Structure 1
Amino acid sequence: MKKLSLLLLFLIVSCQLFDKKVPDENELLQQELQKINWSEVDEYPSVYACDTMQNKEAQKQCFFDYLSQEIQQKISVDSIQMLYPNIDTIQVKVTVFPDKSTIFETQESKDSLDYNLKEIDSIIQSSLSNFPPIEPASKRGVKVKTQFILPVIIKKK
């Protein structure tokens, strides 16, 4: 009899352990979404030359340095210097999509009134049409679209 009453007492107590309130799934989702920093990515976009770096900040710096150098190199041989000799820096908006496609656009700047933005954008588009592939950024393991504005210095010959 004592064993039966102990068993019954154990069952009653153990059932109360499992009788905890389960949080609502929408509430859990909202809590998780609030924890995520949406203004930063877990992994920055990258190129083959920077893949070997382990440090996140070093890889980011390598990527931006590589991008600046490649763009400078590709547009330095074009007619931008001949058409607009006073331009020393161009603001280029770079958009990297999850499917590894990349778009380069010229952004307006304070001295953009001195030159034809559409003409320069056309030169940049044609110069960068065969740009090396860029590995997109990722957030929580999912490839995401990123955009940034990169100041590109026009090297004088």
Structure 2
Amino acid sequence: MNNVVLIGRLTRDPELRYIPNTGTPVANFTLAVDKQLSKEKKQEFESKGQPTADFINIVIWGRQAENCANYLSKGLLAAVQGRIQTRSYDAKDGTRRYVTEVVAERVEFLEWADDKDSNFEDTSTDFPDIDGFEPIDDDNIPF
């Protein structure tokens, strides 16, 4: 069984690119996931300059990759569900490099950027394409 669930903050904006010949979108970003440390241990780690979080490389493909690139940015909180993948490649200097990353199957946006910094428009009160649905006044709800 290979299943990973992480919650953390992006350390940088997602990097979106498209695979040549196929045009398949792929996005990469790093998630900072806090370690489970007591308050005292956390202070000790910080005083020694040791990290109090793990930095996990995330890869996501397809339409979700484009959504991540459009709506996630550095510092925002996100949840990632996927699988761990290991691979290796030969670097330009001839050395063998090994990579461990999470291939995301699902990403949940747990925070949104401020409206002024985002192209996201809240359309929760607009129902132009759904017949029979219209906004209601919350004051008329009996509970």
> Which has the bigger relative contact order, CA under 8 A and spacing at least 6?
1
Same fold (TM over 0.5): no
Relative to total residues, which structure has the larger strand share, 1 or 2?
2
TM-score using structure 1 length: 0.21
TM-score using structure 2 length: 0.22
Relative to total residues, which structure has the larger helix share, 1 or 2?
1
Which protein is bigger by CA-based radius of gyration? 1
